[in-house]
Amino acid sequence: MKHRLDLVLRIGLILWLAIGAWAGRHASADAPPTGATALFPSPNERFGYGVLYGIDNYNVAPLNAGWYQNWSLALNASHPAGALAAHVVRVLPEGLALDRATVQRIADADPGGLWIIGNEPDMFAQDNVTPTQYAAQYREAYFAIKAADPTAQVAAGGIVQPTPLRLGWLSATLAAYRQLYGGPLPADVWNIHNYVLQETPGQWGCGIPPGYYGARAATYPFNDHDSLTIFQEHVTAMRRWMADNGYRERPLIITEYGILFPESSGFDLTRVRNFFVNTANWMLTASDPNTGYPADDNHLVQRWMWYSLDDTNYNNAGNTIAGLMDPATRQMRPLGQAFADLATPLRRPYSNLVVARVQELPAATAATDGATESVRLRAMIQNRGNTAVAQAFRVLIEDGNGQLIHSQVVNGMPARYEGNALVEAIWQRPVGGQWRVRVIVDPDDAVKEANESDNRVFIEPRADLHLESLEVREGQTNAQNGGSPGSSRSLVATVRNLAGMSVAGAQVRFWDNAQLLAKATLGELSAGSQREVVIAWDAPAIGLHALVAEIALPAGVNDPIPDNNRFGRDLLIPGARSHLPAIGGPQFQSGQSVGVTCHNAVENGGFESGDLAPWTATQFVTLMNNGCMAGTYCLYMGRGWNIEDDVYQAMSIKPWATVNLSFAWAVVTTETDGRRHDTLTVELRSATGELLSTVQTLDNRDAHPYWYTSSFNLDSFAGQTLQLHFRANNDQSNTTAFFVDQINLEVCEKR
């Protein structure tokens, strides 16, 4: 039987961050340089750059940078002067294109590597996806990478700049992830770009992010492109956002920033150099005791990449001073010298021995006595410091009781990326899941390191069960529009085994509004296979259901990636649909008259595009994809306590037109005292946002097990530019969910 057991690290979040995290540098007489911490004993490794034309075209060693990217998956990546290569997975409007075999090859070559998901997903000219699309593709990429390497560090985000508008896009992504999967988005690292660009649509800059319009766009003047103050405000805002959303204990990296505009636009060498030096010096020291990263002495930013190494003619606009190297001559440019002048004095020698990976492989002779079986243990040892280890040191492999399995001397180690040491031993492993192995590097402290917490690693049986989806399947009698109460439904959970070992005895538990519905035993699931687990869900109650499926592992089996063991979704079970007279019916005769044309002035009023565009929405407004009035999607507001949701769309109405509004609505509440607490108001506002009329107000007392359709004549508002708002307010007591669908603003005009 072949078992594959990947490394399970019991250490801090990010080995890659310093490529020697928690390591001390060799004793040195000089004082620590600016920006030095236990996480970054050599702070020049915080500096990096993006490269367009191939890093092997240049001699980059004099720059003394610690990392780089080329905006793609770094298969067979070069590591000049020991630089880390980041792996970038692009997200796409048409869906993720990720080859798992390639992911596995990269993970095998670079255990614990940095993976960046998305490059400006909020930018129309780059990855250009909505929050919902990013949430879905991020999850797919995250768990594919973690299946290949549980120690990989996966970075979320990558927005153009952390303005209120784009932080709102990120918040909408978190909300979409929770709505789709029932839990928080897992991120090992948060990533941003930090440009200073205006967001006015149709103007220079980065425009409005796709699928989110819920905050005021930044209108920075062109000459603020190199504003140190705004740069600092962005970083501070991002760190505050991370803390507010439960991610303070995560590193923050900047994978692009710089000066995009050419010398001819006023960004000459002096100006660009000043911006580079001032921002880098600030990031080397900027910290905050309330929002900074605790593992890095509360520094705000852990690493940053300048744009760019070799783009000297950005967007074909002329000489871009920001390029560090000349792609034509392959020589260093003036700003490259400024980069080297700042980074080089920060370099300090240090070594850091780590256990990078431990595998359990078949022995040449698979002997077994019934209680044990022969396996081959292989430990990969790396030096992730920038300086070779000259001293010999021992590596021990012990069982869970501390009994020695193997001891081996390693005669020194080169600096990072220059070679690994493999330590192997044959072990009679106990049959079953009750065993443990410990690998210890340098137990005699022959190599002096200030912190050796990454020198000891425990491994044990590892499962990786991925709960891929949770579906509601319905019978033929109730398949349309979410069915009706009392009809037969099934809950279907799809589980995939991403580990290299079979897992038997796991359970899938199904919950509805925190009440256990059923448990189902999964049986044995072989490595790489998947299975559907189906339970009957008969006669669910009318209302909103918070459905959850979760995996419970058998005793003695560890899953180092528990985030993918749970899948949640909301489902609305309506009692019926009450169709009041709708637009086009006999009460609205204008559309039937000769010489009159009618159209719906609302775009995407049924939300069947699967996102909110072109509606402008606050961050917690989302879509429901079950139980809607018609079609697949409908608007879902009121998803929490003490919140104010707003979604609106503007339209211009010609004079003398007839105007009729209709929409479908449903209300589900947990309020019980019969008093008004939570409201949904339908409003008409002017082009400047001034309230013109409150068309309808609903509240928690309107909760019924039905969909209703409301209709109103709005002829008196013809000849104006209107904003049609749906505004939900929940107080601090229980919550009320408001659903809206099939919004029509019929405008009829004479030909």
Q: 169-210 pLDDT, tens per residue?
A: 999 899 888 878 878 999 999 999 999 999 987 789 999 898
CATH code at position 440 = 2.60.40.10
Residue 466: both structure tokens together: 């991925």
Contact criterion met (CB below 8 Å) for 198 and 154: no
69 compared with 216, residue with greater pLDDT: 69
Q: How many CA atoms lie within 13 A of 242 on its CB side?
A: 31
- Report the first-to-last Cα separation within the chain, whole angstroms: 78
- Please report which confidence band the pLDDT of residue 464 belongs to, taking 50, 70 and 90 as the band edges: confident
Mean pLDDT of 592-602: 76
Instruction: Give the pTM.
Output: 0.75
Tokens 């039987």 found at: 1
CATH code at position 104 = 3.20.20.80
- Last residue of one domain, picked from the residues 432, 459, 486: 459
Instruction: Check residue 608 and give its pLDDT.
Output: 92
Burial of 388 (0-12, 13-18, 19+ CB in 10 A): middle
d(CA 318, CA 312): 8
Instruction: Check residue 58 and give its pLDDT.
Output: 98
d(CA 98, CA 512): 34
Instruction: Check residue 112 and give its pLDDT.
Output: 95
Q: Are residues 184 and 142 in the same domain?
A: yes
Task: Let me know if residue 32 belongs to a domain.
Answer: no
Task: Let me know if residue 14 belongs to a domain.
Answer: no
What are the C-alpha distances in Å from 388 to residues 267, 333, 416? 42, 31, 8
- Please count the structural domains in the chain: 4
- Last residue of one domain, picked from the residues 415, 432, 459: 459
Q: What is the pLDDT of residues 708-726, one digit of tens each?
A: 889 999 999 999 999 999 9
Pick from 172, 165, 168, 170: which is nearest to 197 by CA?
165
Tokens 């005669």 found at: 411
Q: Are residues 508 and 629 in the same domain?
A: no
Instruction: Check residue 459 and give its pLDDT.
Output: 85
Instruction: Kindly report the backbone phi and psi dihedral angles of residue 689, in degrees, each rounded to the nearest multiple of 5, phi listed first.
Output: 95, 5
Instruction: Check residue 693 and give its pLDDT.
Output: 95
14 has pLDDT over 50: no
Mean pLDDT of 3-25: 37
304 has pLDDT over 90: yes
d(CA 291, CA 277): 24
Q: Are residues 615 and 525 in the same domain?
A: no
Task: Let me know if residue 714 belongs to a domain.
Answer: yes
Question: 543-552 and 507-512 as β-strands: parallel, antiparallel, unpaired?
Answer: antiparallel
705 has pLDDT over 80: no
Question: 353-362 and 679-686 as β-strands: parallel, antiparallel, unpaired?
Answer: unpaired
Task: Let me know if residue 220 belongs to a domain.
Answer: yes
Task: Let me know if residue 148 belongs to a domain.
Answer: yes
378 has pLDDT over 90: yes
Q: Are residues 242 and 323 in the same domain?
A: yes
Mean pLDDT of 467-476: 78
Instruction: Check residue 1 and give its pLDDT.
Output: 33
Instruction: Check residue 594 and give its pLDDT.
Output: 53
Contact criterion met (CB below 8 Å) for 746 and 591: yes
Contact criterion met (CB below 8 Å) for 739 and 641: no
- Please report which confidence band the pLDDT of residue 563 belongs to, taking 50, 70 and 90 as the band edges: confident
* Low-confidence winner among 71-80, 486-495, 742-751 (lowest mean pLDDT): 486-495
9 has pLDDT over 80: no
Task: Let me know if residue 5 belongs to a domain.
Answer: no
Task: Let me know if residue 563 belongs to a domain.
Answer: yes
Give the length of the chain: 751
SS3 731: coil
Q: Are residues 442 and 505 in the same domain?
A: no
- Please report which confidence band the pLDDT of residue 534 belongs to, taking 50, 70 and 90 as the band edges: very high
252 has pLDDT over 50: yes
Q: Are residues 569 and 611 in the same domain?
A: no
Catalogue the E-assigned strands of 212-319. Answer: 252-256, 303-306
Pick from 276, 269, 297: which is nearest to 285 by CA?
297
Q: What is the pLDDT of residues 332-347, one digit of tens each?
A: 999 999 999 999 999 9
Task: Let me know if residue 315 belongs to a domain.
Answer: yes
Helices 334-343/269-285 angle, 10° precision: 20
Question: Which amino acid, one-letter code, is at 592?
Answer: Q
Instruction: Kindly report the backbone phi and psi dihedral angles of residue 93, in degrees, each rounded to the nearest multiple of 5, phi listed first.
Output: -60, -35
- Last residue of one domain, picked from the residues 346, 370, 396: 346
Mean pLDDT of 600-618: 92
CATH code at position 625 = 2.60.120.260
588 has pLDDT over 70: no
Instruction: Check residue 627 and give its pLDDT.
Output: 80
138 has pLDDT over 60: yes
What are the C-alpha distances in Å from 138 to residues 14, 172, 486? 19, 14, 37
- Please report which confidence band the pLDDT of residue 135 belongs to, taking 50, 70 and 90 as the band edges: very high
Q: Are residues 566 and 646 in the same domain?
A: no
Mean pLDDT of 347-372: 85
Mean pLDDT of 674-691: 94
Helices 164-181/131-148 angle, 10° precision: 60
Contact criterion met (CB below 8 Å) for 693 and 683: yes
545 has pLDDT over 50: yes
> In whole numbers, what is the pLDDT of the chain averaged over residues?
88
- Please report which confidence band the pLDDT of residue 432 belongs to, taking 50, 70 and 90 as the band edges: confident
Q: Which domain holds residue 118?
A: 47-346
526 has pLDDT over 60: yes
